[in-house]
Amino acid sequence: MSSNERIMKYLIILFLIFTSACQQSGQKKAAPEAKAIERELVKEKPDTLINQQAQNLLDSTTLQHDTRLYNEIQSDTIEFIDYNDDFDYWYLIGRKKGKNLSFVYNWEWTENEEYNFRPGDLIVIQWKKDSIHMAGDEEVVKVVERVLKAKKIGSGNLPIQFLTREDRYDESVKAIVSTIVINQSYLHNISPVERAALGYIAFDIGNECEWGYNSDGTKVLYCQIVTALDLDYQCSDTQLNFLRKWFSKDSIAIDKLKSCPSIPNSATFQSTFEEILIEKDESNKTITVQSKITGINIRESKSWEWTQTDRFEYSEDFIVLVDSQKSDLTEVELDINPDKDVDSEIQGITLALKDFLIKEWGSVNKAMPQNISYENNILVLKSNNGFQLSSYDFNDLTLDKDPNSGVINITVMNVGGGGGGNVVVEENYIATMLQKTKYHIIKGKTKLIK
């Protein structure tokens, strides 16, 4: 996605947030990509770990008769990447010789400091082959590598991605929104001095802040990073006292903390993080934070972005900002208003919906190009043997546009319903304008008409 496209999406999101006053966020890690295991034992290969993670699924016959797969316990040194506990089985993710590897594990790393590794740490592992049953289908057996023990032998000084963004569907505004995602695994390892550095960086830059009420019923501003760092809410005594304690020997920082900004994510003028990397050098007692930041002025239809690198020095009980470098601003003037030419807008939506349906159809049915035709605003989809399964007449599109958010609800009839025959299905789609002639479309509800 180009810079302008990303900024345009962000502008649309801000309008949706501003009008709905509701924002959701979430986090979900991608499923680990374990290299698969080979069906036959391979002799005298130079790296058993990488070679054996080559194929995932074996059938029951192989598992019953080739017991050699499970007898040998092996040892390897890998670079620790992360834990992924979002699935039925927990996975330790590592890297060796540039290849990502995954291992099933069963210890409580959040409660056992010996297993509380940081990204980049070198660890020695003992592992063996094992089999697991797939949830929901006990007949499917997967051969995996199971790590039995792990021990740290070297500290990593790699930058850790503390914050990034992902596009998520927000039910409250019926649209795709760009959402802050914070590295929860890192928070289990974070030290007070790292909390101070990140808390200081986020003090006056937006991080999905929303108004809410505390336990006393007082209206307060809750921000993603502030909450993640366990600093209560923006401008709270908890936040300010923590930062003032750690920056007590930094006079510039103390002056900055005298006034606390309260800028919600619905503000017309604000800035927000796109990415944050943090690196702690324990030998030199320094912390470096690299940030990508986007600013926006909705009223003037302007946006700008910059990168920033902040370097801190620290001791056991204080931290000082010693250097801060900002890149030049990249400014963009944008027209965030939808096209007022109704005919042009309808044509743009029609073409976007056509492309969406063709892509969705092709991904599900693996249809050949000759099975798709489009003439006079009518899209026809056929099976591989030429049988007509669906026909969409875009001349009869119904559009319902929200004047505040710009979100467009589209209704179109699917004659054939995807299976052919005397069936008509009413299908609903939701379109969000990203640029003047570009839309993001998602499928909504369907209803059988006849």
Query: In the numeric block, which tokens belong to residue 274?
Result: 């796109």
Q: What are the residues facing 439 on neighbouring strands? A: 433
Overall average pLDDT of the 346-364 stretch = 79
pLDDT at 265: 82
Query: In the numeric block, which tokens belong to residue 67?
Result: 């017991």
Round to the nearest angstrom and report the end-to-end CA distance of the chain.
41
Overall average pLDDT of the 351-374 stretch = 74
Amino acid letter, 82: D
pLDDT for 409 beyond 70: yes
Query: In the numeric block, which tokens belong to residue 4?
Result: 């302008």
pLDDT at 219: 86
Rounded Cα distance, 417 and 423, in Å: 6
Bigger pLDDT: 212 vs 170: 212
**Segment 170-200, tens digit of pLDDT:** 776 666 778 899 988 788 778 999 999 999 9
**Segment 248-269, tens digit of pLDDT:** 999 999 999 998 988 888 777 8
Q: Given pLDDT bands bounded at 50, 70 and 90, which one contains residue 63?
A: very low
Beta strand segments in 106-186, E? 122-134, 137-154, 160-170, 175-182
Overall average pLDDT of the 291-318 stretch = 90
Which residues are CB-neighbours of 350 under 8 A, at least 6 positions away? 377, 394, 397
pLDDT for 299 beyond 70: no
Overall average pLDDT of the 138-144 stretch = 78
Mean per-residue pLDDT over the chain, rounded: 79
pLDDT for 154 beyond 90: no
Overall average pLDDT of the 384-400 stretch = 80
Nearest to 334 by CA among 3, 72, 18, 8: 8
Share of residues in the chain with pLDDT > 70 (%): 76
Bigger pLDDT: 300 vs 240: 240
User: Domain boundaries in the chain?
Assistant: 3-24+171-333, 48-154, 342-448
pLDDT for 442 beyond 70: yes
Query: Whats the size of the chain, residue-wise?
Result: 450
pLDDT for 61 beyond 80: no
CATH number of 48-154: 2.40.50.140
Rounded Cα distance, 89 and 31, in Å: 11
Overall average pLDDT of the 443-448 stretch = 84
pLDDT for 224 beyond 90: yes
pLDDT for 1 beyond 60: no
Query: In the numeric block, which tokens belong to residue 360?
Result: 């969705």
pLDDT at 322: 96
Dihedral angle computed from the Cα positions of residues 433, 302, 204 and 249, in that order, rounded to the nearest 10 degrees = 140
pLDDT at 330: 87
Contact 196, 246 (CB under 8 A): yes
pLDDT at 326: 94
Contact 131, 142 (CB under 8 A): yes
pLDDT for 370 beyond 80: no
pLDDT at 435: 67
Beta strand segments in 235-301, E? 269-281, 286-297
Bigger pLDDT: 65 vs 306: 306
What Rg value do the Cα atoms of the chain yield, rounded?
A: 27
Highest mean pLDDT among 14-23, 309-318, 341-350, 380-389: 309-318
